[in-house]
Amino acid sequence: MTSTATVRLHAVRKTYRTGAHTVTALDGVSAEFTAGSFTAVMGASGSGKSTLLQCAAGLDTVDSGQITVDGTDLAGLSEHARTLLRRDRIGFVFQAYNLVGALTAAQNTALPLRLARRAPQGAAVAQALAEVGLAERAGHYPAQLSGGEQQRVAIARALITRPAVLFADEPTGALDSTSSAVVLAALRRLVDGHGQTVVMVTHDPAAAAVADRVLVLADGRLVDEITGADPARIAARLAAGAVAA
Amino acid sequence: MIALASLRERWRSLLGTLLTLAVAVAVLTVCGLLLVSARPVAPERYAASPVLIRPVPPAAPEAFTEPRPWPKEQAEALAIRLAAVPGVSAAVPVHRFYAQVLRDGAPVAGERDASNWSAAALGGHVLATGRAPAGSGEVVLGASLGMPVGARVELLTAAGPEQFTVTGTVRGAGTWVADSVAGARAGGVPLIGLLTSADADADADADADAGDGDGDGRDAGVAAAATAIVGADGVVLVGDARGAAEPVDDARTRWIGMQVLSALSALGLFVSVFIVASTFAFATRQRERELGLLRLLGAVPRQVRRWVLGEVVLLGLLGGAVGIPVGLLAAGPVARWLVRTGFEPASFTVLYQPVVPVAAMAAGVLVALVGAWAAARRAARVGPLAALRAAAVDDRPVTLVRMLAGGVALAAAVAAGVAATRASGANLGTYALYAAMALVTAGSLLAPVLLPPAVRLLTAPFARGRGATVLLVRQHVATAGRRSAAAAAPVLLCVAFTVLIGGMVQTTTAYYGLNRVTAADATAVVVPDGTPGLSDAAVTAAGGLSALPTTLYDGVEPLPAAGVTPAEHVLLTVADGSLTALHRPPPVRPSDAAGPAEQAVPAVGLPRPLPAGPGRARSVGPVVPVAVTEGFAASAGWVTGSTHPVFGPDGRPITLEVVAVLAGGPLPAGILLDRAAVRAMDPSALTVVVYSGQPVPESALGGLGARPLSAAAYAASSQDEDDRLVWVFTALLIAVSAGFGLLAVVNTMLMSTTGRAGDLRVLKLSGATRGQVLGLLAAETAVVVATGAALGLAVAVAALAALARGLSVQLGVPVPMVIPWGTLAATVGVCLVLAVAAATLPALASNAAGRGRGSAA
Ligand SMILES: Nc1ncnc2c1ncn2[C@@H]1O[C@H](COP(=O)(O)OP(=O)(O)OP(=O)(O)O)[C@@H](O)[C@H]1O
Ligand SMILES: [Mg+2]
């Protein structure tokens, strides 16, 4: 297998143990995300979408199976090495609480560079903010930004290190449809313009339709894959899957 | 940048910590300046003498007794040889005895001794008017008294009031009599002062290498020569070291001052570490999500740790910048207050050493670092997933390390408690304080384990109700054990220390009262009034039972002793032997026979014969019969019939023969001998107190520097100088610990409510009225305060029990433990009011300000 996949999951299993309970969040998931692709992950609540993203981003360990990101096998890495990989090769955006309240939009954006002890170049930060349409809000604090704007700052920040892959967990979950559209458009532009690899979890068929491909999870398994569909068809397929399951 | 930005963002919640650090640095600056300033100062009366020679002092400086003096003959012989040293113009032995000027029958404060007129030169005193004293009834006084030449003046001596005629005056203060008079009235010689002549400079300059051959070089040369002559018989003091010749009372006062300042510094340090630790533990818990976000973005744990520590270093520096100027400004007034209160001698002045503020600043930063260390480690362990969870649940159980640390602190507390039961005097209180510190640490470390069950117990009676409040309070405290523990910790500290310190004083006061009451079944007590003790005339006038304290010396080590008459036998219980032999006629001393003293006094410069052990007792000097207490007999290994060569208060060798061992009860000293024997050896000995069977009229004591008290008034009185100092000391410690503690209480509560803004919003959204929310906060706070107070009380009671036990062992009778309920109630009340206010005010304020936009902060 010599594919150009940026992220590859092979037979990934993940269980949570809380007391006597064990919950199988991922039950043998295999998937590939090729460079420059935009993938949406959908599925019912509790189907394991967030777990999938967290495992693929090296935020959590898996029970069995293999995950490679940008050619690096996550299994053999220490916590420290995983942190460095995350810092340099992976971007992450989630539903809310994405920004450090004490820092301005520009400072938040530059944060990964600072953490990596790389000199944050003002131009790069300005460009990243411009890409998400926030060039003139650079000096604002998160509390002075709308939810959509905060989310776009988070995307700018996730991109500042030019990561191999950007994971987004319900980035539009807390936004109205207008703000959602702006955020999604920003993501789409990144894929088309810069060949950015994006994996995005969403409950919204309209959001999923912006992606090239939709993966559907149910009870920790991949149950469907939809490509090039519009929101209505995606919604229909999801509904059908839910009935079938 | 992150540390700075985060400080800017959270400054409000860190204000308390900053204030704490600032206060701590200020306290440390003041205490540090005063501690380095508290140096012995050579007394004025020896100001003109560059080289002082005094007898070898006891090994333990805290004995606060004069070193064993030289017998007069030995001192004279030494002085003759010292005077022959090149550069020395005179070697003056000091003969000093108790003599206090009476003005209109009232003792004048200040100088309490008279010396031989030759010794006036040691202070650089020359006659301003009149002539030197010559005859037995003549005296030269300091001009400050305003007594003209020719005036009659009454001096109170150990015998009683005596008439003198003023023959001259000198500038300054002091009392001098003719050398022959002083020689006859004084006991041993406590000091020989050297005067150096100007023409000695030539010799010294010739010896000196460069052009710096000045007075210092000459004095050093003289000191070296004097050391060679004195050998093992004395200590040569030159330059600043002459401070060692300060009066024993000054040394004692200074020592007490040191204790106060050290205790304040230790308490300040401990409490600030404690507050910083609890604040940062709290803050870290509240910032978990933000820290997780940083980890998610690629921060490695080491970086997180560095931020937290960087933040506290900044806080420490900021605190120092505020605290140091405050400390520098406060040092002067505090020093004056210490002198006025009696914690420092009048000679005390502040030396502004630049190293002190620098050290205080460093200490402030160190305190902040130590305090935040655990929090920083915890922060570094926060995983990136913390950013994704909305968790408010304290899922981490109490770590093994924390349990172990709590156990160690508990063990340390027990050790300090045990030490307290063995210690005596000021050390007792210090150990009790240590015990409390360790217990407070243990308590707050183990609080997460203790708190949830304690809260469940406390709220159990209300659990059946339908209200949401009790449910919420119980659940919150139970699921956030550590967080509640962090909030309860300052209350624990506050209550534990105030109750402990207050209880300590009341327990020890009860002890002293007990001590006094048991001393005699007296109806009236006569105590000194403006004098260091009672003269024989006052004792006779009072007509009761008393003891005449003095000091014998085993080698150079002091042995407290007291003289009694047959009348005092009613106070004594004989365990072994008999008291009849105690009052054999006073021994005839070899020197009294005016013969040469060789047989008794070792030749100057030769090694002194070592005091023989009990086994090979050799009869040296006259034999003096003594009775010893069981306690002393046991510790020293003395038995009835044994003899022990010691030295008398005048420095001459004597042999003690134990004729009786005494049982039980508090006694004035471990060794009792005949009162007349004491008077013969110690002409300046003064009686401390007289117990009388009948009331003593005030008129009987007129002009004697004494006053009567009823027995009850005496037992209850804190007139005792030591008691008063202890009391002030305690008040200081309470103020400092309570001040710090309340600061911490307010601080944590403010932080706690601010951190729960989200929770409270949710509550309001789910239908809670504003009143309900405030009620919930108040109830929660009250529960936390009540639990903290209960734990604090337990800590204090444990330490007080150790203290009471220690005192009981010392006194031999049970000492009741006193718990200061008033202090307890006041402390808990203030804690409660402040905590509830601090917890509800931010909620009220945020209500008024409307909703702010949520962010990660
Ligand atoms: N930390 C955890 N401990 C225990 N169980 C967990 C944990 N995190 C997730 N789970 C369980 O694992 C399963 C998958 O959770 P996951 O968060 O991946 O779902 P999801 O698809 O993202 O759901 P949603 O759409 O609601 O966000 C769920 O059953 C959840 O209860
Ligand atoms: Mg999810």
Dump pLDDT digits (tens) for B514-537. 555 455 566 788 888 888 889 999
Which residues make beta-bridge pairs with B627?
B660, B672
Which of B16-30, B164-178, B420-434, B583-597 has the weakest average pLDDT? B583-597
Confirm or reject contact between A92 and chain B (CB < 8 A). Answer: yes
User: What's the A52 CA to ligand 1 centre distance in angstroms?
Assistant: 10
Is the CB of B818 inside 8 Å of chain A's CB atoms? no
- What residue of A is the nearest CA neighbor of B387? A97
* Candidate from A183-192, B195-204, B294-303 with smallest mean pLDDT: B195-204
A157 and B297: CB-CB below 8 Å? yes
Q: How confident is the model at residue B203 (pLDDT cuts 50, 70, 90)?
A: very low
Ligand 1 atom with minimal separation from the A217 CA: 21
Cβ–Cβ below 8 Å for A103 and B387: no
> How far is residue B808's CA from residue B631's CA, in Å, rounded to a whole number?
14
Predicted confidence at residue B629, as pLDDT, reads 86
More confident residue, B417 or B718: B417
Chain B touched by A80 (CB under 8 Å): yes
For residue A95, the distance in angstroms to the closest alpha carbon of chain B comes to 9
Q: Which of the four pLDDT bands, split at 50, 70 and 90, describes residue B116?
A: very high
Which positions in chain A touch B852 (Cβ < 8 Å)? Answer: 143
Measured between alpha carbons, how far is B472 from B229 in angstroms, rounded to an integer?
84
CB within 8 Å: A143 and B852 = yes
pLDDT at position A2 is 45
Reported as a single tens digit per residue, the pLDDT across B606-658 is 334 444 444 334 457 888 999 998 888 888 888 898 999 999 999 999 999 99
pLDDT at B427: 63
* DSSP character string of B162-222: EEEEEEEEESSS-EEE-HHHHHHH--SB--EEEEE-TTHHHHHHHHSSSTT-SHHHHHHHH
Measured between alpha carbons, how far is A73 from A56 in angstroms, rounded to an integer?
11
B389/A contact by beta carbon, under 8 A: no
Nearest to A60 among B290, B385, B852 (CB): B385
pLDDT at res. B425: 57
The span from the CA of A48 to the CA of A218, in Å, is: 8
Window 167-196 of A: residues touching B by CB (8 A cutoff) are 169
Residue A175 has pLDDT above 60, yes or no: yes
Looking at all shown ligands, the one closest to residue A47's CA atom is 1
Query: Would you state the pLDDT for residue A116?
Result: 78
Q: Decide: helix, strand or coil at residue A85.
A: helix
Using alpha carbons only, what angle is made at residue B144 by residues B142 and B147, rounded to the nearest 5 degrees? 75
A54 to B385: CB separation less than 8 angstroms, yes or no:
yes
Sole residue written with tokens 């005016």: B594
Classified by CATH at the fold level, domain A35-60+77-244 comes out as Rossmann fold (3.40.50)
pLDDT in tens, B260-299: 788 778 877 887 787 777 777 777 777 777 788 888 888 8
Q: Model confidence over B655-664: pLDDT tens digits?
A: 999 999 988 6
User: Cβ B853–A54 below 8 Å, yes or no?
Assistant: no
pLDDT of residue A15: 92
pLDDT single digits (tens) B554-605: 888 888 899 988 888 877 888 888 888 888 765 555 444 443 433 444 434 3
Strand A213-218 to strand A38-43: parallel, antiparallel, or no bridges (unpaired)?
parallel
Interface contact flag, B856 A99, Cβ < 8 Å? yes
- Ligand 1 neighbour A21 (Cβ under 6 A): no
Mutation for testing the A interface, residue in B2, B290, B297 having most A CBs under 10 Å: B297
CA of B289 to the centre of ligand 1 (A): 18
Per-residue pLDDT at B456 exceeds 60: yes
B416 alpha carbon – ligand 1 mean position (Å): 52
Q: What integer pLDDT is reported at residue B213 of this predicted model?
A: 45
Mean pLDDT of A110-134: 81
Q: What is the mean pLDDT of chain B?
A: 78
Q: How far is the CA of B255 from the centre of ligand 1 (A)?
A: 67
Q: What's the pLDDT at B153?
A: 92
**CA-based nearest residue to B704, from B522, B542, B575, B505:** B542
Contacts of residue B851, defined as CB under 8 A and 6 or more positions apart, other chains included, come to B761
Residues of chain A with C-beta less than 8 angstroms from the C-beta of B855 = 97, 99, 101, 141-143, 150
- pLDDT of B3: 64
Q: Does B387 touch chain A (CB under 8 A)?
A: yes
**Distances from the Cα of A238 to the Cαs of A37, A105, A172, A199, in angstroms?**
21, 37, 19, 18
In the prediction, which pLDDT does B167 show? 93
Nearest CA-CA partner of B742 in B677, B829, B831: B831
Give yes or no for a contact between B746 and B838, defined as CB atoms under 8 angstroms apart: yes
Atom of ligand 1 nearest to the CA of A18: 4
pLDDT at residue B352 in the model: 87
Cα distance from A1 to chain B (closest Cα, Å)?
30
Chain A (111-150) residues lying within 8 Å, Cβ to Cβ, of chain B: 111-112, 114-116, 141-144, 150
Q: What is the pLDDT of residues B301-321, one digit of tens each?
A: 888 888 888 888 888 899 899
pLDDT tens digits, B720-754: 566 667 667 777 777 777 787 788 788 777 777 76
Alpha-helical segments (H) within B617-769: 630-636, 675-681, 711-716, 721-755, 757-765
The pLDDT of residue B58:
83
By alpha-carbon position, which residue is closest to atom 31 of ligand 1?
Answer: A46
The CB of A178 under 6 Å from ligand 1? The reply is: no
How high is the pLDDT of residue B598?
A: 38
Beta carbons of B509 and B752 less than 8 angstroms apart = no
How would residue B329 be classed by pLDDT, with cut points 50, 70 and 90? very high
pLDDT recorded at residue A143: 83
Reported as a single tens digit per residue, the pLDDT across B359-384 is 988 988 888 888 788 888 888 887 77
Domain assignments of chain A as residue spans, ordered by start: 35-60+77-244
What are the b/e assignments for B363-382, b being 16+ CB within 10 Å? Answer: bbbebbbebbbbbbbbbbeb
Identify the residue with better confidence: B479 or A152: A152
pLDDT score, position B64? 73
Give the whole-angstrom CA distance, residue B744 versus residue B448.
18
Of B6, B300, B855, the CB nearest to A80: B300
d(CA B222, CA B76): 18
For chain A, the 3-state helix, strand and coil shares in percent, each to the nearest 5, are 40, 30, 30
> Predicted confidence band at A88 (pLDDT cuts at 50, 70, 90)?
confident
What does the pLDDT read at residue A165?
A: 92
Question: Residues of A with CB below 8 A from B297's CB?
Answer: 86-87, 92, 111-112, 115, 157
Minimal Cβ distance to B855: which of A60, A142, A157: A142
Please name the amino acid found at residue B429.
G
For ligand 1, the distance from its centroid to the CA atom of residue A32, given in whole angstroms, is 22
Give me the total of CB pairs closer than 8 Å, taking one residue from chain A and one from chain B.
91
Each residue of B118-158: pLDDT tens digit? 999 898 888 888 899 988 889 999 888 888 898 999 999 99
Contact between chains at A83 and B852 (C-beta distance less than 8 A): no
pLDDT of residue B95: 93
Nearest to B352 by CA among B336, B321, B331, B326: B331
